[in-house]
Each structure stands twice: as C-alpha cells, then as structure tokens.
Amino acid sequence: MANNTNIEISPLAPKKFPNINPVPGLRLCGQAVGLKSSGDKDLMIAELVKGTKIAGVMTNSRCPSAPVDWCRTILPKGTARAIIVNSGNANAFTGASGNQVVTSTVSRASKLFNCSPNEIYIASTGVIGEPLLEDEIAEKLSKVVTRLSPTSWKSASEAIMTTDTFAKAASTKTNIGNSEVIISGFAKGSGMIAPDMSTMLGFIFTNARLPAQVLQKLLRRAAESSFNSITVDGDTSTSDTLFLCATGKNTRQKRIHKSNDPDLKEFYNSLESVCINLAKQIVSDGEGAQKFITLNVFGAESKRAARAIGLSVANSPLVKTAVAGEDPNWGRIIMAVGKAGEKADRDRLSISIGGIPITDKGQRASDYNEAVVASYMKNRDIEISLDVGVGRSKATVWTCDLTHKYISINADYRS
C-alpha cells in the first residue's frame, strides 16, 4: 500500500505525536530510500543490543508473506539484533523471488550488525503480489544505519506507514518489583484490519530483563485484549506482525523466570495498556473513519464468546453504515448478535447506546425515545453495550464506522 503525503489526516487522530521514552539498548530510524514512488519514508531499522530477547505473534493467514515465513522460522531462537521493515511493498505472493529478497536483506544486515542471520527480523507492508529486486532493500540498509538514534521514534513510525494518515506510538514507565522499566512502541494500520492472533505491524520495546518464553506468554495475552479486539473492515493481512523485545539493560531488576510471577503484574498491565493504546489508534485511523465505536459485551458464556459476539457486531457493514449515517437502527445490532454463532438469550438480550436503554426482555424498552438516541449518534465517539444473558464473561472490542470514503480510498488504492 503506497501512502500519499497529501492524504487528509483522520478526524479521530491525536492532536500530536506523543512523547516517547527512549529504551536503553535500542536505536532506530526511518528514512526514504526510494521504495515508494511518493518519496515518503519507506525503510525502518531498529537496532537492538546484543542479547535482546524477542517474542512475536504473526498472521494466521494461509497466504503469509515471505518475511512472516522467515520470522516464524527464527522466532523459537528467541534473540534479536535488528528489526528491518519496509513499506510500499508487502513482499507477499512473490514466490521464490520474495524469499530471495528476505535472504539478501538478512545476509547484508547480519554483516552490518555483526550477528547471526537468525537474529535479523524482517517485516514488509504494502501492495501484495508486486515483486522486489533481490537486493532492492539490502543495498539501502547502510544509508539508514548511519542515522540510527535512541530518539527517532517519529521517523521510524512514519517509515512503516501505508494508507495511514498519522504515525502511531505509545510509551509508559512501570515497575517490575521495585525497579522502574520502560515500555515504548509504535504500530501501523488503517485498512485490512481484522487480525487473528496478530496485529497489523507493531513493535514494542522494553529495557526489562525477561526471558523469551515469558515475553511470549505476556505478548499473546496482551494481543488478545488489544490488537485482536479491533476491526476496521474484517480483512486479515498477509503480513500482520507484532514483536515485543526486551533489551535487558535494566540490570537492577530482579530475575523473572515465570510469566505468573506476582512482580510482573504491574508490568503486564502496562504492556496491555500500551497495546490497547496502539490498537485504538489504528481504529482511529480506519480508512475513511469519522466515528470511533466501543462495543462492550456482557453476560456471555466465555470471554472468547464475548469477543466473538463483539466482533460480529463490529464487522457488520449494516451496523457500521448505520453509525456513519447517525441512524440508531438497533435492529442491525440484534441481527449481528444472532449471526455470531455464540450462545445468546433472545428474551434476556439487552442493548444500550450511549448508556440509553434500547431493549428490555426481548423487545424494545417501553420508555425508548429514538430522538434522544439519534441525538447521541451525532457524537464522534459512540459506545454500544450488550448483555446476552447467558453467563458472566465480558469483552470489549473497538471499531469505526464505514463511510463512502472507505470505498474511494480502496477503489483508487493502486492508482
């Protein structure tokens, strides 16, 4: 996907790029190296100190990109020295030539960073099916390496953008035991957003000292309640990739061996918060989005079922277009709950929009006032809550409305 410098920034975008805490043991940068015809930034490198541990979650698409295949192969080794990301070309469905691009890039990078090829991670995002020249990325690496810096978060975030209208990043400080640690990260995504055990592209870094197997368990949990709980259009990318890297530079921190260590509770909550922050920014940049929608599901049989019901509503074009049109057509929500394939009690199902009760005991609430709900629908942030009446489990998912602009963006995508 080739982004356009002149594209209109989403009305849901944050007012400015956030302040990001540098992570000891990490240098990064994004540069324009000519992979995009627009001249925008298109190559990002994150250099990690020797011994950095890594965890990853990637797309479940049956048509994964060449970089995803490579990263899956090396991820069990659990260490990383660099992450290299190009935008403008997904290097997906490119056959043997796509694998050669990865091999060439990894080989060149391993020499630049004096490490094993198995410590070089690759991600690509952009147009699917367009071949790259074998050395097209590899020969550009040295240009970016000279600009690496602990503070170049904005350029790194911009270099992975495609149809995104703003760069997305988040940061926090937290504790493991009595030791302060940093968690900072950035992500991209705007369309083709409905991940499955993955995200679009996301890179999170910490100076914590944690083993790879602990990072992996924490990341999978955090991804479920964040990146796996958002949708823009119901389409899962061939390139979805999320990495969590721990540089281990906080040498005063106690050693952690298990993901259920009580001293990890605050760290995990902060990691989840950063992931949710980034995931919500992706929804806020949904292609053509004008409204941000929060869907709360209660009373489900399990957390998995609650999430599935929420995503069924969030992925419904009829629900999303009703929100775009500021039409409180709550019958479409009933439809989406019914088609979710999860247990729900029709006669106990309750719906509220903006805290205003809509249904009661299987029918419209006796005091329902559509004019009040219609007035609420004019807001930019819309909250819909459902109780399906069969259990105690709950989940929250996030999405955006579906507008004519989504069609325009994707109809003209390769133009």
Give the tokens for residue 210.
């944690």
Residue 190's CB is within 10 A of a number of other CB atoms, namely 28
pLDDT band, residue 411 (cuts 50/70/90): confident
pLDDT of 237 above 50: yes
Lowest mean pLDDT among 44-53, 279-288, 375-384: 279-288
Evaluate whether residue 267 is within a structural domain: yes
**DSSP, residue by residue, 322-375:** HHHTT---THHHHHHHHTT-S---TTT-EEEETTEE-EETTEE-TT--HHHHHH
Helix, strand or coil for residue 17? Answer: coil
Q: In this predicted model, what pLDDT tens digit does every residue of 36-54 receive, in sequence order? A: 989 999 999 999 999 999 9
Residue 245 β-bridge partners: 54, 205
The neighbouring-strand residues paired with 124 are: 86
Q: What is the pLDDT of residue 3?
A: 45
Q: What is the pTM of this model?
A: 0.93
Residues 246, 209: contact at Cβ < 8 Å? yes
Strand partners of residue 121: 83
Asked if residue 36 lies in contact with residue 2, where contact means CB atoms within 8 angstroms, the answer is: yes
DSSP E strands, 34-110 = 43-58, 79-89
Q: pLDDT at position 414, please?
A: 59
In the structure encoding, which two tokens stand for residue 174, read together?
């937290």
Residues 266 and 163 in one domain: yes
275 and 251 within one domain = yes
Residue 113, pLDDT above cutoff 90: yes
**Span 235-254, mean pLDDT?**
85
Which of 58-62, 63-67, 109-113, 380-384 comes out lowest in average pLDDT?
58-62
Q: Is residue 15 domain-resident?
A: no
Name the domain boundary from 235, 267, 284.
284
Claim to verify: residue 272 and residue 309 sit in the same structural domain: no
User: What strands, in cross-sheet order, belong to the sheet with 381-387?
Assistant: 356-357, 350-353, 381-387, 292-300, 393-400
The stretch 268-289 carries a mean pLDDT of 95
CA 6, distance to chain mean position in Å, is 24
Q: Domain boundary residue among 256, 284, 312?
A: 284
In this prediction, residue 382 carries a pLDDT of 99
Confirm if 17 and 154 have CB atoms less than 8 A apart: yes
pLDDT, tens only, 258-268: 999 999 999 99
Q: Looking at the structure, tell me whether residues 215 and 302 fall in a common domain.
A: no
Query: Same domain for 104 and 198?
Result: yes
Residue 209 is predicted with a pLDDT of 98
Does residue 48 sit in the same domain as residue 163?
A: yes
- Answer for the pair 16, 195: CB distance below 8 angstroms, yes or no: no
On average, the pLDDT of the chain sits at: 93
Q: Is 11 a member of any domain?
A: no
> Please, what is the end-to-end C-alpha distance for the chain in angstroms?
11
Position with higher pLDDT, 407 vs 401: 401
Split at pLDDT 50, 70, 90, the class of 17 is very high
Number of domains in the chain: 2
Do 234 and 298 share a domain, yes or no? no
- In the block, tokens 């989005």 appear at 289
Residue 101: which CATH number?
A: 3.60.70.12
Residues 75 and 106 in one domain: yes
CATH assignment of the domain containing 379 = 3.10.20.340
Whether the predicted pLDDT of 115 surpasses 80: yes
199 is catalytic: yes
> Does 385 lie in the same domain as 258?
no
Q: What is the CA radius of gyration of the chain?
A: 22
* CA nearest to 14, candidates 286, 378, 202, 281: 281
pLDDT tier at 413 (50, 70, 90 boundaries)?
A: low
Q: Is the CB of residue 359 less than 8 Å from the CB of residue 349?
A: yes
Between 407 and 132, name the one with better pLDDT. Answer: 132
- Could you tell me the residue range of the domain that residue 170 belongs to? 26-284
Tracing tokens 């969030």 back to the chain, one arrives at 314
Instruction: Tell me: do 311 and 382 sit in the same domain.
Output: yes
Nearest to 315 by CA among 211, 195, 162: 195
CA angle 3, 232, 7 (to 5 degrees): 25
Mean pLDDT of the 106-110 span: 98
pLDDT digits (tens, 9 = 90+) for 380-402: 999 999 999 999 999 999 999 99
Query: Looking at the chain, how many residues does it have?
Result: 415
Residue bearing the bigger pLDDT, 110 or 191: 110
Task: Report the candidate in 287, 353, 288 with the shortest Cα–Cα distance to residue 319.
Answer: 353
Out of 227, 255, 284, a domain closes at 284
Question: Cα–Cα–Cα angle for 299, 302, 304, nearest 5°?
Answer: 120
Residues with Cβ within 8 Å of 73's Cβ and at least 6 positions away in sequence, in order, are none
Shared domain check, 125 and 101: yes
Both 362 and 271 in a single domain?
Answer: no
pLDDT in tens, 164-215: 999 999 999 999 999 999 999 999 987 555 554 334 899 999 999 999 999 9
Q: Of 199, 206, 236, 403, which one is the catalytic site residue?
A: 199
Cα separation of 178 and 184, whole Å? 19
